[in-house]
Amino acid sequence: MDAGTQLSRAGLDEKGIEERLKSWAGEMTERATRQVKASLLLGVIAQKENIQAGDEDLRKELVRIAVQSGRNPKEIWEEMQEKGLARGFLRQITELKALDWAVSQATQT
């Protein structure tokens, strides 16, 4: 079911639906822009500080996802590879490590 149908079922008229979808589009664009900027910044930090996702980082993240989803970590990894998502997943882990590094630097006294 799409957002317009859901809003209609919630009792909004056509004009209300249109206004709500327009406001959401602006919010989504703003959120996406912030996420891209954060990703770029974390990528630069990771590169500059030589931060990379290692095998142990990958294993921990796969186990975390497996526990949440009730699936096998190996099965999850194989599915990511089949769908071409593995590289992005590794980049995401690296960005999280860069974020952890940046927070640790900011909170040092």
Residue-by-residue pLDDT tens, the chain, 109 positions: 576 676 677 776 778 777 877 778 888 888 899 999 999 999 999 999 999 999 999 999 999 999 999 999 999 999 999 999 999 999 999 999 999 999 999 998 6
pLDDT for residue 29:
87
pLDDT for residue 7:
65
DSSP run (H or E) holding 72 = none
Q: How far apart are the first and last CA of the chain?
A: 51
Distance CA 22, CA 29 (A): 11
pLDDT for residue 18:
79
Give the Cα-Cα-Cα angle 60, 95, 26 (nearest 5 degrees): 120
Which residues contact residue 43 at a Cβ distance below 8 angstroms, ignoring those fewer than 6 apart? 91, 94, 95, 98
pLDDT for residue 42:
96
CB neighbours (10 Å) of residue 61? 19
pTM for the structure as a whole: 0.71
